[in-house]
Amino acid sequence: ISETSRRGDGVAKVDGFVIFVTGGKQGEKTRIKVTQVGPRFASAVIVGASSQGTS
């Protein structure tokens, strides 16, 4: 998760596409599940820790 949104959600980007991660914090490496996809961004929830851990 690369940054925090104004609403407090984590922000991740995949090939420039923005994903808002509920409860995510900047610097976390987590597994997420995308719950909704729109034309400009997607929403997701955390489903577990990344196999690489957190940093």
Ranges of each domain in the chain:
3-49
In tens, the pLDDT along 2-55 reads: 999 999 999 999 999 999 999 999 999 999 999 999 999 999 999 998 765 444
| pLDDT value at residue 16 | 94
What CA–CA distance (Å, rounded) separates 51 from 6? 28
Among 4, 53, 54, residue whose Cα is nearest residue 24? 4
The highest-level CATH class for domain 3-49 is: mainly beta
Signed CA dihedral, 44, 36, 15, 40: sign only: negative
Q: Identify the residue whose tokens are 């597994």.
A: 31
Q: pTM of the prediction?
A: 0.84
